[in-house]
Amino acid sequence: MIAGYAVPDFVSEFWHYYIAAFTVLGILFSLFLIKSQTTTKLAEGEQAELMVHTWDGDLQELNNPLPRWWMFMFYGLVFFAIGYLVLYPGMGKFAGTLGWTSFQEWKDDKDAVDAEFDKVMGPYKGQDIMTVAADPKAKEMGQNLFMTYCSQCHGSSAQGGKGFPNLTDAQWLFGGTPEDIKASIAGGRIAEMPAMGDAVGGEQGAKEVANYVLSLGGKPHDATLAAAGQAKYAACAGCHGENGKGMAAASFPDLTDDAWQHGGSESAIAQSIIKGRKGGMPAQSKVSGGLLDDSKIHLLSAYVWGLGGGKQPAAPAPAEAMAAPAEAVAAPAAN
């Protein structure tokens, strides 16, 4: 098991028996080797076997038995190995009688560290995200979390890159309010555009639609191609709207701004139309299979919101507006 995810057996049961057999054979061979190098103690006056090597005329190599203490040390190492394999994993899939795993040890250490972190981060959980974002200490901790868990995709400056959104601008596909950002981090997001090449008439049609899309945003384009692509854009209007402004409520991107994750050139847009795009963000909450607890997600959300592109939360409805539904409910009862 790695980082909380079950790892399937490698290929088949064969490898379990393969490793176990080689381990057992290795131990038996070690015992044989020690025994083979241990001869019966020489009788009084008996000369040990003379080996071939002789140095300096009278220095001879004799086949004397191993010293007893040396022999017992080797046997002790073998029996230590046997005891270890009984207690700990090492014989294929056999987990050992103690049930120890490196994953559990890692998890116990991580839980202990998380508990210490929670003592520091816990007090911020009761504060709203905007208040946390204004706290220098919370901002520092949020930055450390961002560098650990988010910078691999969004960059150390949070300005993203090809295929990864910029978190410092005001363009948010799934919303930039504190609640939206927190929901994106905790539960992840899925974004996908189907391939539309056939719907717009192949590569030439995609090129024409791409120029029409560029014209919607007031960007440099070929007017002739854009005019030809206007009618074909109808295949895209269902999601992105007739004016290309998208639908924020349904997370369909605005095609008239400069927030292009996969490139905003004619060729890049045409490729997006022909092949489609798949993207998304994995969930970071432990509840959804991620690595972060609620305290870390709260601090991280505050840091991301405070990078400059976050939006203000929706203002609460006035008290008199909230009282209106009660009157509306009471009216039908009188009929």
Contact yes or no for 150/300 (Cβ under 8 A): yes
Contact yes or no for 300/181 (Cβ under 8 A): no
Paired tokens of 214: 């560029």
Backbone angles phi, psi at 53, to 5 degrees: -75, 135
Separation CA 120–CA 68 (nearest Å): 59
The DSSP secondary structure of 176-243, one letter per residue, reads -SHHHHHHHHHH-EEEEE---HHHHTHHHHHHHHHHHHHHHTT----HHHHHHHHHHTHHHHHHH-TT
Q: How many residues does the chain have?
A: 335
Task: Report the phi/psi class of residue 45: left, alpha or beta, with left for phi > 0 and alpha for psi in -120 to 50.
Answer: left
HSE of 243, CA atoms in CB hemisphere, 13 A: 3
Amino acid at 73: M
Separation CA 27–CA 91 (nearest Å): 12
Contact yes or no for 62/51 (Cβ under 8 A): yes
- Angle (CA) 82 83 84, round 5°: 90
Nearest C-alpha neighbor of 279 from the set 155, 188, 167? 188
Nearest C-alpha neighbor of 202 from the set 277, 96, 274? 274
Residue 277 pairs in a beta bridge with 193
Return the H-helix or E-strand segment holding 331: helix 319-333
- Which pTM does this prediction carry? 0.63
| Domain annotation for the chain: domains and CATH numbers | 1-40+48-98 (no CATH), 111-188+282-305 (1.10.760.10), 192-281 (1.10.760.10)
Per-residue model confidence as pLDDT tens for the chain (335 residues):
344 444 455 557 888 888 899 999 999 999 998 888 776 666 666 666 666 667 777 777 776 777 788 889 999 999 999 999 999 998 888 889 998 988 889 889 988 988 888 888 888 988 999 999 999 999 999 999 999 999 999 999 999 988 899 999 988 989 899 999 999 999 999 888 999 999 999 999 999 999 999 999 999 999 999 999 999 999 999 999 999 998 877 889 999 988 888 899 999 999 999 999 988 899 999 898 898 989 999 999 999 999 988 888 776 655 554 444 444 433 333 33
